[in-house]
Amino acid sequence: MKVLGKKSLLTHHGEIHKYLKNLILHLVGPENLKANVMNELDAVICRHLQAWARYGTVDLKEVTSNMLFDYAAKQLMSYDESKTPLKLAENFKAFIYGLLSFPLNIPGTAYHACLQGRKNATKIIRDIYNDRKASKIHRGDFLDHLLEEVESEKSILNESSAIDLVLILLFAYHETTSTTLTLVPKFISDHPNVLAELTKEHTEILKNRDDETSEITWQEYKSSMTFTHMVINETVRLANIVPAIFRKVVKDVEVKGYTIPEGWLVMVAPNALHLNPDVYTDPHTFNPWRWEGKELHAGSKTFMAFGGGVRLCVGADFAKLQMAIFIHHLVTKYRWKVNGGDEKMIRRPGLVFPNGLPIEISEKDKC
């Protein structure tokens, strides 16, 4: 709680959690995704893929992380790095690195760096918040909406809780998705049959357009990307980006003869479920076809990549939209290959790439 903030979305339940969830839906709810976010994401992803192709070889984890962090910071609060002496991205990375570290707060430890990173990131957000409040300039971002909410008579938000909310949204907005986006090209290139099926699906989408160069439509995303959503589900199942889900027991629960008392905190490990051979055949194998004929847009007792129940991740649709747009442009416009033989991935406890993931990417019409 000290690291996340006392007013974090992750530490609330009941009516307060519902209130915060509805607030965030203003940003990542289906209506805003369809009306605004989709076209913005399409432009951002296209621009960055073109840049990576010009570079030739890039560290995919680094460039996807930077792309999504910059997009998130601008969407949330119109962040401009040139206008602050502290670097938000650097401090945020320190915060993330030590988020689940051993809580020993002395210089040199990951936990200490995490707290310092959080302190500095919070200062940057607070300065932007106060400047916006004083100037009364509207930029059309989420911070505008937060300020209006804080100043409303019925609001349960104050300045501190609003700043905590922006910080946790930065994490949710980009960190998990950037890791998944890093895995997508690797998994696809390791399985040519998957690439062939994706290429077929997205080529068909292009053929059905009046103008092949036009942006992805909401109808295409929802109705014409069935296999793409199968690939997304399989990627997040294997990635297990969130190492643990914490839930407070609201009443005594019986589990296999044991009683978990009311008030206890339970840690759910999604990877124990997602890699269970009793639930998934050959669980360590990347096989998107295992999702054929199954529900692709919701959580379940056997699929908790985005949580579940009333606390299903409010940004799940947003994360999937990012991945779908990325896959569409990747398979229709580019060729790529993973460079080097050391593609090591470890958990600390989240998934990290200690040696990066260098890939060589080029435009198809220039190959």
In this prediction, residue 299 has a pLDDT band, given cuts at 50, 70 and 90, of: confident
Does 347 fall in a domain? yes
> Residue 305's closest CA among 135, 179, 122?
179
Which phi and psi angles does 245 have, rounded to 5°? Answer: -120, 125
SS3 260: strand
> Residue 60's closest CA among 169, 172, 193, 188?
188
Does 91 fall in a domain? no
Say yes or no to pLDDT of 367 above 50: no
Structural domain harbouring 230? 9-78+139-366
In this structure, the number of other CB atoms found within 10 A of the CB of residue 82 comes to: 4
What was the pLDDT predicted at 54? Answer: 95
Does 92 fall in a domain? no
Does 115 fall in a domain? no
Give me the amino acid identity at 312.
L
Taking each helix axis from N to C end, the angle separating 60-77 and 176-190, rounded to the nearest 10 degrees, works out to 140
Give the CA-trace dihedral at 260, 266, 270, 271, to 10 degrees: -90
Distance CA 299, CA 291 (A): 13
Domain count, the chain: 1
The structure tokens listed for 67 are 């792309």
SS3 189: helix
Does 93 fall in a domain? no
CATH number of the CATH domain containing 235: 1.10.630.10
pLDDT single digits (tens) 222-266: 999 999 999 999 999 998 887 778 888 889 999 889 999 999 988
| Contact (Cβ atoms closer than 8 angstroms) between residue 335 and residue 367 | yes
pLDDT single digits (tens) 40-73: 999 999 999 999 999 989 999 999 999 999 999 9
What DSSP string describes 274-292? HT-TTTSSSTTS--GGGGT
Does 109 fall in a domain? no
> Residue 266's closest CA among 279, 250, 277?
250
Does 95 fall in a domain? no
Does 105 fall in a domain? no
